[in-house]
Amino acid sequence: MKQEIIQVPSSDILARAAQFKKDGYRLVQILCTRIPEGYELTYSFDRDYIMTNMRVIVPGEGSVLSVTGQFWYAFVWENEIHDLFGLKVECIAPEVDYGGHFFQLAKETPWHELANAKPPAAAFKVNMRSGLGIDATVKPAAPNTGAAAVKPAVPNTGASAAKPAEGGK
């Protein structure tokens, strides 16, 4: 399959999208990749099973205009990009602008960090078998801050305190 990628300045997105629409293309997807310079957006258009890709580089603090004016269904991916990457997409059609509530995640914008940057010692370790220690291990940040705030005298009771309570059920 031919893999054609056209580089486009970010100011041209709307004009290009309008042209693609006029030519009878279908928007297949919008891909976002985090790169050191910011974000790399790839819009894939398809006509008769041949795909053409339009690539835009958006600087780290920048934002991008929505193509929902041309391709209404792009809202799925634009909201996704906003929620997963933290890239601001402006002017999404108002009836489908979720304003950052499309995905509800444990971690805000999980894709914002660069892919190859070493993660800061794994955000939280999944405790594979901690028996019934429920509340203490649910929220990644909770065990230390939450439990300690409630019972400052006994900082580590979270897991052990939950056990007898559950055993009774």
Q: What count of Cα atoms within 13 Å lies in the side-chain half-sphere of residue 76?
A: 6
**Cα(56)–Cα(32) distance, rounded to whole angstroms?**
10
- Judged by CB under 8 A, which of 23, 60, 62, 139 binds other proteins? 139
Closest contact distance (angstroms) between CB of 153 and other proteins is 26
- Judged by CB under 8 A, which of 13, 27, 41, 89 binds other proteins? 27
Closest contact distance (angstroms) between CB of 154 and other proteins is 22
- Please, are residues 52 and 44 in contact by the beta-carbon 8 Å criterion? yes
Q: State the binding string over 68-107 for other proteins (x if CB under 8 A, else -).
A: ---xxx-xxx-----------------xx-x--xxxxxxx
User: In this chain, which stretch among 8-16, 58-66, 119-127, 151-159 interacts with other proteins, using CB under 8 A?
Assistant: 119-127
Q: At what angle do helices 157-167 and 142-150 cross, to 10 degrees?
A: 80
Diameter of the chain by CA atoms? 69
Closest contact distance (angstroms) between CB of 88 and other proteins is 20
User: In this chain, which stretch among 12-20, 43-51, 56-64, 151-159 interacts with other proteins, using CB under 8 A?
Assistant: 43-51
Q: Which residue has the tokens 């991008």?
A: 64
Closest contact distance (angstroms) between CB of 103 and other proteins is 4
Q: How many amino acids of this chain bind other proteins (CB under 8 A)?
A: 50
